[in-house]
């Protein structure tokens, strides 16, 4: 009889790591993030489980992909280990192997499924391109809380399609500091109703072109939530 | 100043420009004496794959007094943004404009990147012509294989470093520091540099031409400037610095693996091959040192593949021992071994098993020519039987795909030789079906042909390249011969090869052509979507320079060649001897069987197979 490989015996040590992706990492696509993780795993020498076969690789699952250019304080990834390692040690060794811009903060055994993540809270910081109207906060709230918010999406074939994304937007708060205007908004990351944060800039530009036209913005995912949009995913 | 995020959001693959990778070296600019921008005149993905730069980046940064950063050619979309917003080309690490560095270094790996170098200088805010650079402008220093004939870009380089840079570059840093401390005078600095071995300062030489355009004389402007510049080598490869840390790109690059340099040089001496001549003498590393270095790199990088690099890996004298030692730990670490550049005559089942445990897919060999006669002319020293035996080993090991590399337009080539390429492919297919225990799938042979380019410092340096029409006719001819659906035929664009041939054997008159090409926006020539042959021909026509003089002319054996001022160790007499033997269809045994007296042994070198000079 063939000896069973070590991997085959213990593949059930599932691990979830919470991490942030900031700085130059925000310009790294999901695919490249995956590659970066694979090399970080090898550097960390953690006993990560590898698939069998000609091209062994760790199987890593991530939270819904971020758009390129968007940073995040709340990302999760799941992978399997072949040996128990203290959560603190995992965090420590990953951080020692991560490039600047990736930072692990927590590690634990996963409970909820990634597919239950339905909402993301984004912080969008605009550098306004013109003088803000007095009631910019009210106008923002109105623009993002309307029942019908139409934007033009492009299908994979490149055909424009007008879509109502109002159901996928939950306005939270906003604040103005000098010419920096910050909007906190929850956006759907449900597969069927996904709202890209870039649409918020489009909607606000339509509402207040005098200060949003050509305004630079920085987007950061702050938290992810379950279907009710209130319960934090963990 | 880093590139604004608003621009990064608008370009393809912003990861090319952001930096922040694992292994990147950040220093306090105030804490160093010398700032060096190591530039690769092509895109990030290609530049990040270059082992030479990775080695030198480490050597420079290990010094506390130097900060070496990286720079790459921006893709067209980024270039457009930089020009639109009037932003200079900057280093990756600190976002410093190229014009603010003490040194801007270029690694020139292929002729088609010359225009990228000029474009990068222009984007970086540096005068293209060295004569026009101010005293405090960056020193533009070129290295890499193209510097063996630096003449086509002689007007743009302040210094060309000939040969291997491991010792050269630190030495150059020391000279610079000394001059900086004395109150820097560019002319005095360059004069002193020229006194050091392998440091070629083109501006210190006068070139005169004959009426027919060939070189009449090549003379140093001052008595103590050497008439010949001798290349530098690392004598003991075991002691050569190797990068203990690599910058790990976020985005996929061409060479996305650990490249373990096993030895330098090549024992073979194929007559078309420049690398086989300019990297002589052969110098090996010991398996112990290589194994140790591989472990360090695996720890430091997290790469999952090690590629054993050399000009012909199966010629390494300790290949068995090395692969055994590596395999004793790589499998456990989920690291696969990759052996490129295999020769058919030394490809064995044992070797095959070592690589096939991990990877499936095809196998590649380079017979280079279709008939034994022509293989003898080029001194390939490989027989059809060797190829078929090697293929059988591959088929027995479960492979079904074989890729074969050839050259077209070689000296003395006839249509019969071209036909031989197809016949060889047919024989490989036949061999597949004659192999008991072959895989159940159907076989596939891919023929890939490049056009012969006469290169400086090869026995074929005097040969003419076939003219464009003939190169294209040869491609069509072979296409017409390939009938078997199991054989695929790919070939390189002959127009690209012609431009390469022009610059490979170019002289200083071509500097004008490059300057004009840069003005007309010619760049990224290595990319099909940008290469524009007609635009190049317009430049030549408008300047009244005949490209055929360089590409399609047989150079005279008595002629002063543009690169005669460089001494690579291998003598011109040897190259000439080899040329004549080629025409007699006589081969030369490899260096291990018998010394052919090329002259490179005068440079010394440990673990070479040369007799002591």
User: Pick from A33, A18, A163, A149: which is nearest to A99 by CA?
Assistant: A33
Q: Which residues of B350-359 are buried (b: 16+ CB within 10 A; e: fewer)?
A: ebbebbbebe
B272 occurs within a structural domain: yes
The average confidence (pLDDT) of chain B is 94
Residue A51 pLDDT grade (very low, low, confident, very high; cuts 50, 70, 90): confident
What CA–CA distance (Å, rounded) separates B598 from B584? 19
> From residue B248, how far is each of A32, A40, B96 by CA, in Å?
11, 10, 21
Burial class (CB in 10 A: 0-12, 13-18, 19+), A144: buried
Residue B360 binned pLDDT confidence (cut-offs 50, 70, 90)? low
Please report residues of A whose CB lies closer than 8 A to that of B335.
Answer: 42
Query: Which of A65-74, B73-82, B352-361, B544-553 is the least confident region?
Result: B352-361
Confidence (pLDDT) at A206: 94
Q: Is the pLDDT of residue B358 over 60?
A: no
Q: Do A99 and B303 touch (CB under 8 A)?
A: no
Domain boundary among B230, B247, B263: B230
Instruction: Look at residue A144 in the predicted model and tell me its pLDDT.
Output: 96
Nearest chain B alpha carbon to A42: B302
**B214 with B245, same domain?**
no
DSSP-derived 3-state class of residue B234:
coil
- Using the Cβ of B7 and the Cβ atoms of chain A, whether some distance falls under 8 Å is answered with no
**What Cα–Cα distance (Å) separates residue B469 from each residue in B370, B407, B409?**
21, 16, 11
Q: Do A54 and B360 touch (CB under 8 A)?
A: yes
Interchain pair A40, B22: CB under 8 A: yes
Q: What CATH number does the domain containing B171 carry?
A: 3.40.50.280
Three-state DSSP state, B410 = coil
Structurally, chain B folds into a number of domains equal to: 2
Which residue bears the tokens 């021992």? B321
Average pLDDT estimate for B322-348: 85
Query: Where a domain ends, among B230, B249, B273?
Result: B230
Q: Does B252 touch chain A (CB under 8 A)?
A: yes
- Rounded Cα distance, B539 and B499, in Å: 12
Q: Choose from A42, A57, A93 for mutation: most chain B CBs within 10 A.
A: A42
Dihedral of CA atoms B220, B193, B149, B216 in degrees, nearest 10, equals: 0
Q: Which two tokens stand for residue B73?
A: 């050619």
Residues B195, B283: one domain? no
Q: Which residues contact B279 (CB under 8 A, 6 or more apart)?
A: B264, B265, B266, B311
Percent of chain A with pLDDT over 90: 78
B305 or A125: whose pLDDT is higher?
A125
Yes or no, beta carbons of A218 and B14 under 8 Å apart: no
3-state secondary structure of B337: strand
What was the pLDDT predicted at A4?
A: 44
Same-domain status, B324 and B182: no
Classify residue A83 as exposed, middle or buried by CB count within 10 Å of its CB (0-12, 13-18, 19+). Answer: exposed
Name chain A contacts of B300, Cβ cutoff 8 Å: 43
| Per-residue confidence (pLDDT) for residue B243, from 0 to 100 | 85
- Please tell me the predicted confidence (pLDDT) of residue A3: 43
User: Do B222 and B257 reside in the same domain of the chain?
Assistant: no
Distance CA A98, CA A95 (A): 5
Average pLDDT (A165-171) is: 94
d(CA B523, CA B15): 21
A100 closest CB neighbour out of B6, B20, B298:
B20
> Is the Cβ pair A36, B22 closer than 8 Å?
yes
**pLDDT tops 50 at residue A1:** no
Do both B341 and B475 map to the same domain?
yes
Angstroms from A36 CA to nearest CA on chain B: 6
The residue segments making up the domain with residue B80 are 5-230
Average pLDDT, chain A: 90
Q: How confident is the model at residue A2 (pLDDT cuts 50, 70, 90)?
A: very low
Considering only the beta carbons, identify the residue of B14, B252, B300 that sits closest to A68: B14
Do the chains contact at B20 and A23, CB–CB below 8 Å? yes
Q: Per-residue pLDDT tens for B200-246?
A: 999 999 999 999 999 999 999 999 999 999 999 999 999 999 888 88
Chain A residues whose CB is inside 8 A of the B334 CB are: 42, 50, 56-57
User: Among B207, B230, B253, which residue terminates a domain?
Assistant: B230
Residue B101 has pLDDT above 90, yes or no: yes
Q: What pLDDT is attached to residue B66?
A: 98
Residue B105 has pLDDT above 80, yes or no: yes
Cα(A199)–Cα(A122) distance, integer angstroms: 12
Confidence class of residue A10 from pLDDT cuts 50, 70 and 90? low
- Residue B191 sits in the same domain as residue B256: no
pLDDT, position A6: 46
Note whether B362 and B311 are same-domain residues.
yes
Chain B partners within 8 Å of A48 (Cβ) = none
Same structural domain for residues B271 and B417? yes
**List of residues 6+ apart from B583 with CB closer than 8 A:** B377, B411, B412
Chain B nearest C-alpha distance from A138 (Å): 27
In chain A, residues under CATH classification 3.30.70.580 are 6-111
- What pLDDT is stored for residue A11 in this prediction? 59
Give the separation between CA B502 and CA B498, rounded to whole angstroms.
6
Check pLDDT > 50 for residue B188: yes
CA dist B333 and A192 (Å) reads: 40
Q: Which of A24, A32, A41 lies nearest to residue B20, judging by beta carbons?
A: A24
Distance from CA of A127 to the nearest CA of B (A): 11
- Chain B, residues 24-43, CB within 8 A of chain A, namely 24
What mean pLDDT is predicted for residues B442-463?
Answer: 97
Please compute the mean of the pLDDT values over residues A177-193 and round it to a whole number: 93
Q: Is the pLDDT of residue B361 over 70?
A: no
For residue B523, being part of any structural domain is answered with no
DSSP B97: B
Which one of 3.30.70.580, 1.10.1200.10, 3.20.20.150, 1.10.287.130 gives the CATH number of domain A6-111?
3.30.70.580
Q: B156-178 burial string, b = 16+ CB within 10 Å, else e?
A: bbbbbbbbbbbbbbbbbbebbee
Please give the class, per CATH, of domain A116-225.
Answer: alpha beta
**Shortest Cα distance, chain B CAs vs residue A231, angstroms:** 32
Alpha-helical (H) ranges within B95-139 are 114-123
- Cα atoms in the Cβ-side hemisphere of radius 13 Å centred on B53: 27
Q: What is the mean pLDDT of residues B13-36?
A: 96
How many CB atoms are closer than 10 A to CB B514? 22
User: By CA distance, what is A56's nearest residue in B?
Assistant: B334
- Looking up residue B467, the CATH number of its domain turns out to be 3.80.30.20
Please name the residue that has the structure tokens 């317009």. Answer: B538
Residue B20 lies in a domain: yes
Q: Which of B287, B286, B268 is nearest to B276 (CA)?
A: B268
Q: What is the pLDDT of residues B148-168, one digit of tens each?
A: 999 999 999 999 999 999 999
CB contact under 8 A, B5 and A218: yes
B55 part of a folded domain = yes
Residues of B in contact with A41 (CB under 8 A): 302
Verify that B13 and B117 share a domain, yes or no: yes
**Residues B343 and B464 placed together within one structural domain of the fold:** yes
Interface test with A, best of B250, B298, B329 (most A CBs within 10 A): B250
**Residue B524: inside a domain, yes or no?**
no
CATH 3.30.70.60 in chain A, residue ranges: 116-225
Nearest CA in chain B to A28: B15
DSSP B271-319: TT-SHHHHTPSPEEPPHHHHHHHHHHHHHHH--SEEEEESSSGGG-TTH
Mean pLDDT of B59-68: 97
Q: Are residues B172 and B101 in the same domain?
A: yes
Same domain, B256 and B221: no
Structural domain contains residue B334: yes
Are residues B301 and A43, on separate chains, in Cβ contact within 8 Å?
yes
* B372 in A contact zone (CB under 8 Å): no
Residue A61 has pLDDT above 80, yes or no: yes
Q: Which of B359, B446, B360 is nearest to B402 (CA)?
A: B446
B374-420: per-residue pLDDT in tens?
Answer: 999 999 999 999 999 999 998 988 889 999 999 999 999 999 999 99
């Amino acid at each position: 009889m063939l000896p069973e490989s070590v991997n085959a015996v213990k593949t059930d040590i599932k691990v979830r790591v919470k991490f942030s992706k900031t700085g130059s990492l925000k310009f790294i696509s999901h695919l490249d993030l995956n590659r970066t993780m694979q090399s970080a795993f090898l550097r960390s020498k953690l006993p990560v489980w590898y698939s069998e076969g000609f091209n062994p690789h760790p199987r890593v699952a991530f939270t819904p992909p971020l758009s390129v250019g968007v940073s995040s304080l709340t990302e999760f990834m799941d992978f399997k280990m072949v040996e128990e390692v203290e959560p603190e040690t995992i965090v420590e060794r990953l951080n020692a192997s991560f490039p600047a811009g990736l930072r692990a903060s927590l590690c634990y055994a996963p409970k909820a499924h990634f597919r239950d993540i339905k909402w993301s809270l984004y912080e969008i910081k605009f550098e306004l391109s013109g003088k803000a109207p007095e009631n910019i906060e009210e106008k923002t709230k109105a623009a993002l809380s309307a029942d019908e918010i139409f934007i033009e999406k492009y299908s994979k074939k490149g055909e424009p399609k007008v879509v109502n994304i109002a159901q996928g937007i939950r306005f939270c708060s906003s604040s103005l500091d000098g010419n920096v205007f910050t909007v906190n908004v929850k956006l759907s990351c449900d597969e069927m109703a996904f709202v890209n944060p870039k649409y918020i800039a489009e909607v606000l530009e339509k509402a207040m072109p005098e200060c949003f036209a050509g305004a630079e913005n920085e987007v950061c995912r702050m938290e992810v939530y379950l279907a009710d949009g209130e319960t934090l995913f963990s | 100043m880093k590139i604004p995020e608003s621009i990064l959001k608008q370009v393809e693959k912003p990861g090319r420009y952001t930096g922040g990778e694992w292994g990147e070296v950040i220093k306090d600019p105030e804490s160093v004496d010398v700032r060096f921008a190591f530039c690769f005149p092509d895109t990030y993905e290609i530049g990040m794959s270059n082992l030479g730069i990775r080695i030198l980046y480490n050597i420079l940064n290990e010094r506390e007094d130097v900060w070496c950063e990286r720079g790459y050619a921006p893709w067209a979309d980024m270039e457009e943004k930089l020009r639109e917003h009037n932003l200079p080309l900057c280093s990756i690490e600190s976002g410093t404009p190229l014009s603010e560095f003490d040194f801007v270094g270029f690694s020139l790996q292929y002729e088609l990147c010359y225009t990228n170098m000029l474009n990068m200088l222009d984007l970086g805010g540096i005068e293209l012509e060295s004569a026009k650079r101010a005293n405090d402008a960056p020193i533009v220093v070129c290295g890499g294989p193209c510097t063996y004939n630096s003449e086509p870009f002689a007007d743009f380089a302040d210094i060309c470093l000939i040969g291997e840079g491991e010792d050269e570059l630190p030495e150059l840093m020391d000279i610079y520091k000394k001059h900086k401390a004395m109150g820097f005078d560019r002319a005095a600095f360059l004069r002193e540099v020229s006194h050091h071995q392998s440091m070629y300062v083109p501006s210190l030489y006068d070139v005169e031409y004959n009426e027919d355009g060939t070189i009449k004389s090549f003379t140093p402007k001052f008595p103590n400037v050497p008439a010949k510049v001798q290349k530098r080598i690392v004598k003991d490869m075991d002691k050569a610095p190797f990068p203990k840390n690599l910058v790990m790109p976020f985005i996929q690059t061409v060479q996305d693996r650990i490249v373990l340099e096993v030895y330098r040089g090549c024992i073979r001496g194929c007559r078309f091959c420049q690398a086989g001549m300019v990297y002589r003498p052969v110098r090996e590393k010991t398996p112990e040192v290589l194994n140790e270095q591989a472990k360090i790199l695996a720890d430091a990088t997290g790469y999952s593949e090690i590629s054993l690099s050399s000009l012909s890996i199966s010629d390494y004298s300790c290949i068995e021992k090395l692969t055994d030692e590596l395999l004793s730990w790589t499998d456990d670490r989920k690291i696969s071994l990759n052996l490129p550049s295999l020769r058919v005559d030394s490809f064995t089942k044992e070797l095959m098993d070592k690589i096939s445990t991990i990877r499936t897919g095809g196998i590649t060999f380079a017979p280079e020519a279709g008939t034994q006669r022509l293989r003898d002319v080029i001194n390939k020293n490989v027989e059809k039987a060797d190829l078929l035996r090697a293929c059988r080993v591959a088929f027995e090991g479960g492979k079904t795909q074989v890729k074969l590399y050839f050259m077209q337009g070689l000296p003395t080539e006839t249509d019969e030789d071209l036909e031989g390429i197809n016949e060889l492919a047919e024989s490989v297919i036949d061999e597949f079906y004659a192999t008991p225990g072959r895989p159940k799938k159907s076989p596939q042979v891919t023929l890939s042909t490049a056009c012969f380019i006469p290169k400086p410092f090869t026995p074929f340096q005097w040969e003419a390249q076939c003219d464009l029409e003939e190169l294209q006719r040869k491609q069509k001819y072979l296409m017409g011969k390939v009938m078997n659906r199991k054989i695929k035929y790919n070939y390189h664009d002959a127009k690209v090869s012609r431009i390469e041939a022009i610059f490979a054997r170019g002289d200083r008159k071509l500097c004008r052509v490059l300057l004009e090409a840069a003005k007309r926006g010619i760049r990224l020539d290595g990319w099909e979507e940008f290469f524009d042959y007609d635009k190049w021909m317009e430049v030549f026509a408008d300047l009244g320079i005949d490209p055929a003089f360089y590409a399609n002319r047989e150079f005279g054996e008595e002629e002063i060649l543009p690169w005669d001022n460089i001494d690579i160790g291998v003598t011109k007499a040897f190259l000439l001897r080899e040329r004549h033997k080629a025409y007699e269809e006589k081969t030369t045994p490899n260096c291990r069987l018998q010394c052919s007296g090329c002259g490179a042994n005068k440079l010394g070198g440990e673990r070479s197979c040369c007799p002591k000079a």
